Structure 1
Amino acid sequence: MGDAKQMLFARNLISICVDSNENADFQGNVWHQYSDDPISFKSVTNMLTMVDSLMDEWDFPQKGLEQREFVSTERPRHQRVDVADEELVIDKVQKRHGTRNIQNKKGKLGTFIVQIAFRQNATWQGNVVVVDTNDKKTFSSAMELIRIMSDSLKGD
């Protein structure tokens, strides 16, 4: 009997495809289910910021902490709460753009299918499948996710 392939299913699933590792920093693309085009990143910090912005845009998973503001600013349209409209923002995105299979996207050095389940304590918690080894791991912070990715790319 063959090995079962680890799979994740979620509405906020992303595939992090690492193409190079220069100066101990990752470069590559992030794919998500609602676009045919990847989002390139030039560093780990750039990738973390970009994915967090994507989660903000989808409003899923919702942040456990809101950014403190000293001057009141109006929220962007996608972040405004309409009590009469109970549909989630990510469901609207899915209806508008449809979904694509991202689990076949590959990076030159490594590929990681990530599901961020929660954004609590100003960081991420979720699951990651290391595609090259078919290992499914949980992480309790963005830093732990980066460590899992780094160890996998080193072969640990």
Structure 2
Amino acid sequence: MSEAKQMLFARNLICVCIDDNENADYQGQMWHQYSDDPVPFSGIYEFLVAADDLFDTWDFPQRSLERRGFGHDMTEDHRDKGFPFANYNSSDELVIDKIQKQSGTRNIQGKRGKLGTFIIQVAYRQHATWQGHVINTETNEKSDFISALELVRIIDAALLK
């Protein structure tokens, strides 16, 4: 339990609230500490893309590989695509720290999904996937994952119990 409490105060936490399971895919909302509004998702793929975009906006955790794409010019850096806090300056301050100063932080620990709730900390984005920790708030079980697919499997296994 003490490890779980320590993780609950990381700067890049997201809270995933699963509200429904339609057509074998989960729907719900993703919350983070820097906004009063949730990010709704209508499938696990949509959640993964939204979370990855959020991490790009925060520039934390940083990608170890540049995003690939097909059909359009991907030479532009993601930091130049209109993210509100993505411009770097000469200071050593991280983008996520600037966001925190401007937006403040909110408590996401009280958010609950109808089917399940998971607090996720992605510690690294290496090898074109995520590595980190997840807490199932219903059972207070902490699990580590080494890929986004493993995270999805952990969530799925918890919800099928």
- Structure 1: give runs of 5+ residues left out of the alignment: none
Identity of aligned residues (%): 52
Q: Whole-Å Cα distance in 1 between the matches of residues 141 and 92 of structure 2?
A: 37
Deviation of 1:86 (Å):
1.4
- Deviation at residue 76 of structure 1 after TM alignment: 3.2
Measure the CA separation in 2 of the matches of 1:32 and 1:94: 11
Aligned to 2:129: 123
SS at match of 1:6: helix
- The residue matched to 1:17 in structure 2 has which SS? strand
CA distance in 2 between partners of 1:133 and 1:91 (Å): 31
TM-score (norm 2): 0.88
Instruction: Establish whether residue 87 from structure 1 lines up as the match of residue 84 from structure 2.
Output: no
- Equivalent position of 1:6 in the other structure: 4
Give the distance between the partners of 2:14 and 2:74, measured in 1 at CA: 34
Count of aligned pairs between the two proteins: 152
Change (3 A) 1:136 1:72: closer
CA contact (8 A) 2:68 2:74 kept: no
Task: Using the TM superposition, give the Cα deviation of residue 68 of structure 1 relative to its aligned residue in structure 2, in angstroms.
Answer: 4.5
SS at match of 1:26: strand
TM norm structure 1: 0.90
Is 1:99 the counterpart of 2:105? The answer is yes
Alpha-carbon contact 2:88-2:95 (below 8 Å) kept: no
Q: Which runs of 5+ in 2 are unaligned?
A: none
C-alpha separation between the residues in 2 aligned to 1:138 and 1:145? 8
Matched residues in 1 for 2:3 and 2:146: separation?
23
* Deviation for aligned residue 1:79: 3.6
Amino acid across the alignment from 1:107: G
Tell me if the contact between 1:5 and 1:134 (Cα under 8 Å) persists in the aligned partners. Answer: no
